[in-house]
Amino acid sequence: MATLFQNIFASIFFLLKNIKLLIVVIVLLAVIALILGKVYQGWDDDPDRGAIAIANGTFGENYSTPIYLDQGWSANDSLWFYNTTQGSALLPYDFFLALEQENSTDLFRDNQNIDRYRYLPQKPTFFNPEGFPVGFVQETYKGKDYIGYTCAACHTGQVNYQGTAIRIDGGPAMADMVGFLTGLEKSMLATQQQPQKKQRFVQNVLELSNDYSTAQEILQSLDQWTRTIRLYNTVNHSHIDYGYARLDAFGRIYNRVLQHMINKPQLATAMKLAVSPIGNRILTNQQIDKVLDGIGENIIVDKQFGLVFERLASKENGYPGLNQRDLLRVRNQVFNEADAPTSYPFLWDIAQSDYVQWNGVANNSGVGPLGRNTGEVIGVFGILDWTSHEKNGFSLSAILTGQEKLKQQVDFTSSIDLTNLRRLESHLKSLQSPVWPREILGEIDLAKAQRGQVIYAKYCLSCHEVIERNNWDRLVVAKMSDIGFIGTDKAAAVNGVAYSGKSGNLKHTVQSTDVGDLVIEENAPVIQILTSATKGVIGTPDADKYIVRRWLDRLYDIGSSFFDNTIRNTIKNGNYKSDTTSSPYNSLLAYKARSLNGIWATAPYLHNGSVPSLYDLLLPQEERPSEFMVGSREFDPVKVGFRAQGYDGFRYTTMRIGDKNTGHEYGAGRTPQLNGEVLPALDEAQRWDLIEYIKTL
């Protein structure tokens, strides 16, 4: 018996010893990988950071090779941010290389065309050998190559002044994403329909010798991807024109989640409820059955949903042949109109902020940043290979989404790269706001700025704290203002709470909120569906990695995101309605104020980009421009904003909900401070003093 126990203890000791050895090996491999990753990250150090000069640019803007201000990033820091994939897959990589413009043989990715949509052209560098624009990158998923967006596409800005261009890392893009995607759809349709264009496209793709080997394969894929892009544009069609420099990102994220969660019975029910203006059903039961013939019972992927919309619009083979208006009426039963565009937020200090997003929806503590960024990639074309299957053992994603006891469970496999999302968030910790470049934009009048500092302390400081831009330990506290209190356009905040849709397999699962647990119903607020779906993606290992590494990486990403995050889980600051058991999302009917360091480089202003300059923002609402041009990067250093007249850009009008320029009238003596006090209106001299001080932030 003694010998038996000795053998058992010896075996346990041997096992523990080897487990310790295994842990040491894993830690050493992780350290080596980290060191090699840092070395690799530093290989792309082009002194121009890939930036190029543009002649004959859009709106007559010609500029020399852009320069960079000191924002705490080196050349390789910028280039790594521009070219690190997050798992976005907009289009097959080969297609983007070969696709021509709709009415030209010039490539769609030609720099002049890219500049027309106000993305930022680049030259080839080590991480970007094809010279894609800032924020476009090659993504590889399940053995196939794609082109997709990186964070930098929407969060890299540029300011031009008298021929000198200043690239702003982390600044809001001037991009017209809707115009870009519409142009992409038109170019793909033209490639399908024009024989010579189609022939050139097929030949150019074949010459790449990459993912396609036959013409038939290329044309089948072209049909599929054209349908997918067309579906996306139809689902997100809005009566509000976005123009340049803004996007309804949340509306589009919501719609992508709904598209991939609704099941076939729920879709059929929704289609039955689509009616004409006089109340008649648009589709008969027989038409619905025909349109949905062969469509998956549970998760309906892009390819199938694209086919559904194609069948709805087709007049062939007995399909209903809906016109655009009726097609949108059917759309509205499944999705929500993405009609609340907002400016692209600037990213400096985001890693040091307690709450983020315009409505403060994202708590930045714990694994919050990982969830926030996962939701973002869902919106910008992450491949969502979500499938439904019979319960078959342990599933972390099922536990996180409340599906662990369901017979049928959704698996949230996707192309979303959580490892890179964690690395990108960490990378942003070292990004600093840009300082006003006096040698380019002019000296700051210090006497006026000193007077302006006093005004700022009285009128602005309670919401917009002043921080040290280079303080590693800085914390940026969001000050929330209820939409009824601040008075700015309410569409974005209201949509975030009010929009609903079919919950698919998440029906009757339970989700936690700050005021208690709730049941997700079949018709549920999309914020609930998105929250669960995001958890599911986080809990699903990377399909492109072998089984041991996929689980180790996923656990490390979640653990590291939690333990490396110094932001504490605190309640929101400001003036807003509290969440209640009957209204658990009340606090989201508000907008966030944050520090204004670097604000000079982020026009136009207010959350929806409805005010062209800081000077205009200090005026009473009726004196602010009711219409102005957007799209130019030419800077106005006096009013502090971009050129707003004198060129044929996007004409922004402020008449409709979603576009309104109301509210935030502190300088006009109308909007009360957080303590309820209404201060006197600023006079003209005080406005200019305040603007001069804001330039120093």
The answer to whether position 291 is within a domain reads yes
Helix (H/G/I), strand (E/B), else coil: 548: helix
**Are 198 and 154 contained in the same domain?**
yes
The answer to whether position 550 is within a domain reads yes
**Which of residues 172, 205, 235 is at a domain's end?**
235
**Are 549 and 630 contained in the same domain?**
no
Q: What's the confidence (pLDDT) of residue 22?
A: 53
**Which of residues 584, 607, 626 is at a domain's end?**
584
Consecutive H or E run containing 234: helix 215-235
User: Which residue range(s) make up the domain with 14?
Assistant: 1-41
The answer to whether position 643 is within a domain reads yes
Q: What's the confidence (pLDDT) of residue 394?
A: 85
**Are 394 and 499 contained in the same domain?**
yes
Measured CA to CA, the distance from residue 337 to residue 260 in angstroms comes to: 17
Residues in contact with 484: Cβ distance below 8 Å, sequence separation at least 6, in sequence order? none
Q: Which position has the token pair 């000079």?
A: 600
In terms of Cα–Cα distance, which of 313, 336, 308 is closest to 238?
Answer: 336
Identity (one letter) of the amino acid at 554?
R
**Are 499 and 541 contained in the same domain?**
yes
Q: What's the confidence (pLDDT) of residue 552?
A: 78
3-state secondary structure 599-644: HHHCCCECCCCCECEHHHHCCCHHHCCCEEEECCCEEECCCCEECC
Q: What's the confidence (pLDDT) of residue 543?
A: 82
The answer to whether position 269 is within a domain reads yes
Q: 258, 335 in Cβ contact below 8 A?
A: yes
CA 428-453-602 angle, 5° bins: 35
Measured CA to CA, the distance from residue 603 to residue 614 in angstroms comes to: 8
Residues in contact with 174: Cβ distance below 8 Å, sequence separation at least 6, in sequence order? 118, 157, 158, 244, 245, 631, 633
Q: What's the confidence (pLDDT) of residue 584?
A: 95
Residue 64: other Cβ atoms inside 10 A: 14
Distant-in-sequence contacts of 52-55, Cβ < 8 A, 24+ apart: 52/111, 52/121, 52/122, 52/123, 54/111, 54/115, 54/121
The answer to whether position 144 is within a domain reads yes
Residue 674 to residues 360, 388, 458, 573, 576, Cα–Cα distance (Å): 17, 49, 12, 10, 10
Q: What's the confidence (pLDDT) of residue 36?
A: 54
Measured CA to CA, the distance from residue 595 to residue 478 in angstroms comes to: 8
Give mean pLDDT, residues 483-501: 97
The answer to whether position 271 is within a domain reads yes
DSSP code at position 461: T
Q: What's the confidence (pLDDT) of residue 9?
A: 55
Q: Are strands 246-247 and 342-343 parallel, antiparallel or unpaired?
A: antiparallel
**Are 669 and 613 contained in the same domain?**
yes
H helices within 155-194, ranges in order? 177-193
**Which of residues 554, 584, 614 is at a domain's end?**
584
Share of the chain above pLDDT 90, in %: 84
Give mean pLDDT, residues 540-551: 79
Tokens in use for 127? 């991480």
Give mean pLDDT, residues 63-91: 97
Residue 582: other Cβ atoms inside 10 A: 7
Q: What's the confidence (pLDDT) of residue 565?
A: 84
| Maximum separation of any 2 CA atoms in the chain, in Å | 96
Q: What's the confidence (pLDDT) of residue 31?
A: 54
**Are 544 and 642 contained in the same domain?**
no
Q: What's the confidence (pLDDT) of residue 28?
A: 58
The residue that leads in pLDDT, 3 or 234, is 234
Helix (H/G/I), strand (E/B), else coil: 135: coil
**Are 312 and 446 contained in the same domain?**
no
Residues in contact with 265: Cβ distance below 8 Å, sequence separation at least 6, in sequence order? 297
Residue 650 to residues 179, 424, 470, 693, Cα–Cα distance (Å): 11, 32, 36, 30
Tokens in use for 579? 């969440």
Give mean pLDDT, residues 532-553: 84
Q: What's the confidence (pLDDT) of residue 20?
A: 58
**Are 392 and 536 contained in the same domain?**
yes
Task: Give the model's confidence band at 202: pLDDT under 50 very low, under 70 low, under 90 confident, else very high.
Answer: very high
Q: What's the confidence (pLDDT) of residue 30?
A: 53
Residue 359: other Cβ atoms inside 10 A: 26
Q: 432, 351 in Cβ contact below 8 A?
A: no
- In whole angstroms, how large is the CA radius of gyration of the chain? 26
The answer to whether position 422 is within a domain reads no
Measured CA to CA, the distance from residue 181 to residue 197 in angstroms comes to: 19
The residue that leads in pLDDT, 295 or 643, is 643
Q: Are strands 650-653 and 635-636 parallel, antiparallel or unpaired?
A: unpaired
DSSP code at position 478: P
Q: Are strands 479-482 and 590-593 parallel, antiparallel or unpaired?
A: antiparallel
The answer to whether position 450 is within a domain reads yes
**Are 172 and 146 contained in the same domain?**
yes
**Are 578 and 651 contained in the same domain?**
no
Q: How many structural domains comprise the chain?
A: 5
**Are 658 and 567 contained in the same domain?**
no
Measured CA to CA, the distance from residue 155 to residue 345 in angstroms comes to: 7
Q: What's the confidence (pLDDT) of residue 266?
A: 93
Q: What's the confidence (pLDDT) of residue 25?
A: 53
Q: What's the confidence (pLDDT) of residue 13?
A: 62
Measured CA to CA, the distance from residue 408 to residue 395 in angstroms comes to: 12
Helix (H/G/I), strand (E/B), else coil: 126: coil
DSSP code at position 101: P
Helix (H/G/I), strand (E/B), else coil: 490: coil
Tokens in use for 617? 């923002």
Tokens in use for 206? 């074949």
Give mean pLDDT, residues 319-324: 94
Residues in contact with 606: Cβ distance below 8 Å, sequence separation at least 6, in sequence order? 343, 488, 489, 617, 661, 663, 664
Mean pLDDT of the chain: 93
Give mean pLDDT, residues 234-242: 96
DSSP code at position 518: E
**Are 281 and 301 contained in the same domain?**
yes
Task: Give the model's confidence band at 549: pLDDT under 50 very low, under 70 low, under 90 confident, else very high.
Answer: confident
Q: 538, 400 in Cβ contact below 8 A?
A: yes
Predicted TM-score (pTM) of the model is 0.93
How buried is 53 (Cβ within 10 angstroms: 0-12 exposed, 13-18 middle, 19+ buried)?
A: middle
* pLDDT tens per residue, range 21-72: 655 555 555 555 555 555 666 789 899 999 999 999 999 999 999 999 999 9
